[in-house]
Structure 1
Amino acid sequence: MTLPFRDVNVHVSPDSYTFTSPSSPNAPALILDRPTGDVRLSDGPPPAHKRVSRVSSIAGILGIISLRLDKYAIAITKAQPMGRLRGHMVYKVIATDFLPMRERQIHDPDEDQFLSLLKTWILPGPMYFSYSIDLTNSFQRQAAMDNSTPLWMRADDRFFWNRFVQSDLIDYRRNGGRSHQGPQPGADPYILPVIFGTLEIRPTTLKGTPLTLALITRKSRFRAGTRYFTRGIDEEGHASNYNETEQIVILNDSNSRMGGFAGTGDMQSGKLGGSDGREMQIMSYVQTRGSVPVYWAEINALKYTPKLQVRGIETAMPAAKKHFDEQIRIYGDNYLVNLVNQNGREKRIKEAYEQMVEMLQTSSVEKTKGDMITDEKFHIIEPSSSKQEYDRLHYIYFDFHHETKGLQLHRAMLLVEQLHDALIAQQYFRGVEMPANGGLEARNLQTSVVRTNCMDSLDRTNVVQSMLARWTLDRIFVDLGLLQRGETFATADTAFEFLFRNVWADNADTVSRAYAGTGAMKTDMTRLAKRTKAGMFGDGKIAVTRYYLNNFRDGPRQDAYDLFLGAYHPATAAVGPSLVLAARRPILIQSIPYVLAFSVFLVLMALFTPRLPDASVLKPRLFILFWLVVAGWCLNFILGNGMLYVNWPKLNPRPWATEGYQDAISNVRKDKLLGPLVARHERGLSTARYLNAEEGKKRIE
């Protein structure tokens, strides 16, 4: 069994970076030649470098990325132990470092900004890894795998977060290089899979019984991005903000095992056998979340409620089929829980989702259940008979906002009751550790999955997922004999209940920060099991913060995702000599917010500056009135042309952003005051540049 090295030294010299493992002196060294960045393995023991400038100890290689001028190895320089799963230590990436292939004498503005994007938005993110256990796969999928294959080969491609930046190493492993042709298994220990999301491991007790509660949320690397710039699905069927969440309970887990080093046998795995002889049991329950799988977008224009755009359902059918093909193949039956509002702007998304499901199923039967609070409490779409693959889709609509308004959280349990029979049939995974081969023997399998969504698949979604996880966890504890039938852990053990709530609330915040830039709303429902006025006030502050971030900060964050995950290739994107990340608006339009700020400053100065008793009153009033008019005009212009002031992604421009920009510029040219000036001095947005960028992106793909 080949596992990643858990101790890696990097030897820095003018002509190469050489990576070695001190605990495996006979293993070949991985060498990155400078300045080309070519990958190769040393023949036999690593060569002795006469000109090594320094030797550093690192936790692993996150990957290799090519930017505009240079190629960089990204080293994990600091990792924090987070706890053990099945006795395997799990780590969080704390610090990273870029190792450039060239010693740059000249700083390129784009290159510096690319590095800044990665350092600011991606590398500080919640990334986790293990040298000896596969974090990308659920325990049920792990039980069906061959543990003799290298760890990176077992990784789930959806959640292998650093897969793109590992491409150079993986390509060399599979095909070799100039000096070594063919597969290179010696590179396996240097390829370290990393996940992005939530990982909480909490050793605890339930009514005096020791156990480990763990929660893992894996964010998909496909169609990853920010809230308003990444919605719906793409042509390959990848849903935005797609996450798999696995709740894990481990009995008889030994958390006192010491971790070994890379080498052979138990020391390389970092896993030693327990001494008490009791078999280790692992129970896990998996849920998924993701954006509504149709083509839709919300278009920022500085309005609090963006414009909603939904394309035809027929055009999205091939993509939706790819999405659900994968979902059914991996998880079995899918229970699609839709939590968007049934009225207002969200109604279009609800109807689009339902039309999609009806078109996928052979023939559907709809049932609607209402009550005095809402016209439609549940809307269920089920296949009339099971004739084809998509008849394994079961759609359940629940109007979460209307049902729980007025702080009535208990009404959300109506959804759990509606899903009761499905949850009973769904089961959960139960496996037993097999010490002989280090694998898992499956004793019970989860046969379906609940896929939950709201508009963002964040706040409402997390509340519902935590409720389903709670219901299943009670069932697991009853099956294990830790609880009596009809008993719940909420009443049986208040300390465990407190732990459970906070683990799920922390998960909500982590997923929300990755997508929306803030912590989650409605976490009082999860932490306190009730809706509070303080929680509603906190949600108001989050809403204001999201408005600011989604309009003015998410463009660079989206660019960072696209850069790290390979949606944009700066080394091969031919967009001309102009700076890729430079602002393209006319200088006059860029200056208006500054004029607004200056006007407000002058008005405040005039209002609060002391005046002499005999000073004239008329002139200050005219001064204040003039600058108030200027400020009012600037504010009206900014709000009326909001498309010009949203901080859009620049590496992969959104089609609606380009179209909206051109429309806004056309309107400005018609303005009696600014029109002639803009037309005369406009640097403008180069439509040709955007078309070239899109064309280059297609060629790369």
Structure 2
Amino acid sequence: MAPVNPFCDINITTSPSRYAFGSPSSPNAPALVVDRPSGDMRLVESPISRGKRIGNVAGVLGVIRLRLDKYIIIITKAVLVGRIRGHAVYKVHTTEFLPLQERQLHDPDEDTYLSLLRTHLRTGPMYFSYTFDLTNSFQRQSSADTSLPLWQQADERFFWNRYIQSDLIDLRSSNPAADPFILPVFFGFLSITLTALKSTPLSFILITRRSRHRAGTRYFTRGVDESGNVANFNETEQIVIIGGSTAKVFSFVQTRGSVPVYWAEVNNLRYTPELQVRGVDSAMNSARKHFDHQIRLYGDNYLVNLVNQKGREQRVKAAYEHIVKLLPTKRTDIPDQLHYVYFDFHHECGGMEWHRAQLLLEQLGGGLYDQQYFHSVEGKFVSSDIRSYQTSVVRTNCMDCLDRTNVVQSMLARRTLNRQMVDAGVLGEGENTASFNSFEVIFRSVWADNADVVSQTYSGTGALKTDLTRTGVRTKAGAIADLSSSITRYFRNNFSDGPRQDAYDLFLGVHLPSSTSMSSLLFIDRRPIMIQSIPYVLCGAILLELAAFVLPRTTDESPLSMRIFALFWLAVALWATNFITKHGKLYVNWPRLNTPSFAVQGYNEELRSAKKDLIIGKWIGRGGNARERDSGAGGSGRLVHLEEGKKRIE
């Protein structure tokens, strides 16, 4: 039975009472009709001709309900990235929102919701194919039921628009003819390069799929939740395809994810946030769920931990090792399938001795060799011949699962690639892909680009240490670039990641806007006016201080009065600076939709402390009840306990 693939072309007609979607390439297929303003969906057999045609689109990304209205999100433009085994792969380029109602008046919350979603769609790298399942690795695809519609074959972890496809999936439960309108996309990185190695043409492909569970930004999403989902979980698959109609396919999969305990780093405007590690023993069930799931999917897990063994990171390392040590007391089968490997990356590779990262390969021992890789021979007219399966996975983490993790993953990928190419007969025994310059440039560039994209979506900047990935050498220029990225991360993590986290929660259905909310001004700043004014006081004091030294003076002006003027505004500037740094949590841009409990707790503590300030404390205001304080932090009562993790609403 031929699989049901999504429509690759959809015409949209609109009228005051409905939207109609139909595929011109499948004129006999039922058309999708969405009634306005109710949002009710149905399929009609006869083509829809009434209404105004508003264009041809690449697909329906989904339908989302906000505070006052539902919106159909359509992909207005998709860019061809390349082909995998003849299947075209696209990147979402532009999208558009089709409202079910025509609003005459603007609602502040609704407008903010739309702005968050548009930014997320504009900056988030999303990919799809009409005929190929991009959410699953080649190995998982080899055992998939290809007679199912494409969206039902998709790995639910990486089906990024699964929540906003809910209305179409519900319609499909009563009418399978809705299948062609359901288009799965994944969020992450994809590169397809046609190249050659030692005169052998091949396709070099790298795919990183980001999980939609516990997705978010660097400091607002850490650790594990009660369902066993960890922050910043990514599956990276390196693929090499040799040949045309009959091809050899080689695939190697790695994963990364946050340390699976309850921990957080609380922003406070200091360069190093406040580290909290809570309830290590209470996280046991969550960690067990996480590793049970990983073992079911990937087999044995080699847990490569790269956090520092000294300093503040040591607490996270100790918590991880405590969890891994206790797991065998809960399950008798886990000790044989979890292999903990610690490698102090910064200590071993200090002083720019990055070649010492190769020592990790020695620590992994035969584990990396024994796990094999996926290898199949595929043809257009013959069934796949599976030559080998990957039997385990390396799960790498550092604190952020970004910079150190990227370096190690590219190193492990190279080791396996060398082995694959020797086994395929492309390279001779003892040869290395690094010896072939043209391919080496591609390999390093693709892995560095992957590092930048994964880092951008989590931390707000490209990855650090990518000069090592791109060139194989750690340089002073790279160190300077890393310093610049670190400074940028500081400002973004403190002052712009709140809205980014809100966008994740909104798009993925973690936050469900309510039209019955008591407040229609969810995003306004509810901090006391005096607290809000301090940064402006600081800026004014700095300007007046500069003016005292820069502006021309009159001849009859007293030098003493000018000195007093300058000293006064210097004192004001120093006081304001001290107040902001001392009470930094009052000035962090926290998420407003699902404010973490540690953020609300920190905000309330800082507010109580600020009220004791000798200069302005008595003017800050009472702000005595919990509801007001929660709103001040953007919580509005929708709080999530750090020990439980974020609730993921499906």
Q: Same fold (TM over 0.5)?
A: yes
CA distance in 1, matches of 2:286, 2:376: 35
Equivalent position SS for 1:406: helix
1:442 alignment partner in structure 2: 386
Give unmatched runs, 5+ long, in structure 1. 175-182, 254-273, 364-385
How far apart are residue 80 of structure 1 and its match? 0.3
1:568 alignment partner in structure 2: 511
2:48 alignment partner in structure 1: 47
8 A contact 1:20–1:28 mirrored in 2: yes
**Change over 3 Å in CA distance of 1:631–1:683 after alignment to 2:** farther
8 A contact 1:299–1:656 mirrored in 2: yes
8 A contact 2:528–2:621 mirrored in 1: no
Q: Which deviations, in whole Å up to 9, do the C-alpha atoms of 1:439-461 show, x marking residues without a partner?
A: 64422100000000000000000
2:21 alignment partner in structure 1: 19
CA distance in 2, matches of 1:425, 1:285: 13
CA distance in 2, matches of 1:351, 1:245: 27
1:263 alignment partner in structure 2: none
**Change over 3 Å in CA distance of 1:12–1:312 after alignment to 2:** same
1:626 alignment partner in structure 2: 568
The answer to whether structure 1 residue 230 and structure 2 residue 197 are counterparts is no
CA distance in 2, matches of 1:441, 1:20: 39
Task: Choose the corresponding residue for 1:315, options 243, 259, 282.
Answer: 282
- Mapping 1:238-253, distance limit 5 Å: 238-253=229-244
CA distance in 2, matches of 1:307, 1:579: 30
8 A contact 2:63–2:165 mirrored in 1: yes
In structure 2, give the amino acid aligned to 1:225.
Answer: G
CA distance in 2, matches of 1:700, 1:206: 47
1:62 alignment partner in structure 2: 61
CA distance in 1, matches of 2:167, 2:20: 15
TM-score w.r.t. the length of structure 1 is: 0.89
Equivalent position SS for 1:460: helix
8 A contact 1:505–1:523 mirrored in 2: yes
1:465 alignment partner in structure 2: 409
2:535 alignment partner in structure 1: 593
In structure 2, give the amino acid aligned to 1:565.
Answer: L
Q: Which deviations, in whole Å up to 9, do the C-alpha atoms of 1:629-669 show, x marking residues without a partner?
A: 11111111000101100000010011011111111111122
**Change over 3 Å in CA distance of 1:204–1:629 after alignment to 2:** same
1:427 alignment partner in structure 2: 372
**Change over 3 Å in CA distance of 1:16–1:528 after alignment to 2:** same
CA distance in 2, matches of 1:494, 1:23: 45
- Mapping 1:145-544, distance limit 5 Å: 145-174=144-173, 183-253=174-244, 274=245, 279-362=246-329, 387-436=332-381, 440-491=384-435, 493-544=436-487
8 A contact 1:584–1:683 mirrored in 2: no
8 A contact 2:623–2:629 mirrored in 1: no
How far apart are residue 684 of structure 1 and its match? 9.2
**Change over 3 Å in CA distance of 1:695–1:470 after alignment to 2:** closer
Task: Choose the corresponding residue for 1:580, options 501, 518, 522.
Answer: 522
Q: Percent identity over the alignment? A: 59
Task: Choose the corresponding residue for 2:628, options 686, 694, 697.
Answer: 686
Equivalent position SS for 1:501: helix
Give unmatched runs, 5+ long, in structure 2. none
8 A contact 1:122–1:564 mirrored in 2: no
8 A contact 2:451–2:463 mirrored in 1: yes
8 A contact 1:28–1:186 mirrored in 2: yes
Q: Which deviations, in whole Å up to 9, do the C-alpha atoms of 1:208-267 show, x marking residues without a partner?
A: 1100000000000000000000000000000000000000000114xxxxxxxxxxxxxx
Greater Cα shift, 666-675 or 605-614: 605-614
8 A contact 1:462–1:508 mirrored in 2: yes
Q: Which deviations, in whole Å up to 9, do the C-alpha atoms of 1:608-629 show, x marking residues without a partner?
A: 1122455432222221111111
CA distance in 1, matches of 2:286, 2:624: 40
Aligned length: 641
In structure 2, give the amino acid aligned to 1:616.
Answer: S
CA distance in 1, matches of 2:597, 2:142: 44
2:34 alignment partner in structure 1: 32
How far apart are residue 575 of structure 1 and its match? 4.1
In structure 1, give the amino acid aligned to 2:499.
Answer: P
CA distance in 2, matches of 1:684, 1:448: 49
CA distance in 1, matches of 2:385, 2:290: 30
How far apart are residue 434 of structure 1 and its match? 3.9
8 A contact 2:509–2:649 mirrored in 1: no
8 A contact 1:142–1:440 mirrored in 2: no
In structure 1, give the amino acid aligned to 2:448.
Answer: A
Q: Which deviations, in whole Å up to 9, do the C-alpha atoms of 1:260-309 show, x marking residues without a partner?
A: xxxxxxxxxxxxxx4xxxx1111100000000001100111111111111
Q: Which deviations, in whole Å up to 9, do the C-alpha atoms of 1:572-599 show, x marking residues without a partner?
A: 6x54124111112011100110111111
CA distance in 2, matches of 1:282, 1:249: 6
Q: Which deviations, in whole Å up to 9, do the C-alpha atoms of 1:398-454 show, x marking residues without a partner?
A: 0001111111011000101222411110100011224237x6442210000000000
**Change over 3 Å in CA distance of 1:158–1:442 after alignment to 2:** same
Equivalent position SS for 1:293: coil
In structure 2, give the amino acid aligned to 1:235.
Answer: E
CA distance in 1, matches of 2:623, 2:347: 52
The answer to whether structure 1 residue 8 and structure 2 residue 19 are counterparts is no
8 A contact 2:163–2:509 mirrored in 1: yes
Equivalent position SS for 1:212: strand
**Change over 3 Å in CA distance of 1:695–1:633 after alignment to 2:** closer
CA distance in 2, matches of 1:387, 1:301: 42
CA distance in 1, matches of 2:527, 2:107: 22
The answer to whether structure 1 residue 558 and structure 2 residue 501 are counterparts is yes
How far apart are residue 695 of structure 1 and its match? 9.2
**Change over 3 Å in CA distance of 1:550–1:537 after alignment to 2:** same
CA distance in 2, matches of 1:680, 1:298: 29
8 A contact 2:239–2:251 mirrored in 1: yes
8 A contact 1:94–1:124 mirrored in 2: no
8 A contact 1:362–1:391 mirrored in 2: no
Equivalent position SS for 2:208: strand
CA distance in 2, matches of 1:66, 1:22: 28
How far apart are residue 687 of structure 1 and its match? 4.5
CA distance in 2, matches of 1:347, 1:413: 23
Question: Once superposed, what is the RMSD of the aligned Cα atoms?
Answer: 1.9
8 A contact 1:575–1:692 mirrored in 2: no
Equivalent position SS for 1:481: coil
**Change over 3 Å in CA distance of 1:76–1:99 after alignment to 2:** same
Equivalent position SS for 2:319: helix
**Change over 3 Å in CA distance of 1:205–1:698 after alignment to 2:** closer
How far apart are residue 131 of structure 1 and its match? 0.3
Equivalent position SS for 1:22: coil
8 A contact 1:60–1:190 mirrored in 2: yes
Greater Cα shift, 614-623 or 205-214: 614-623
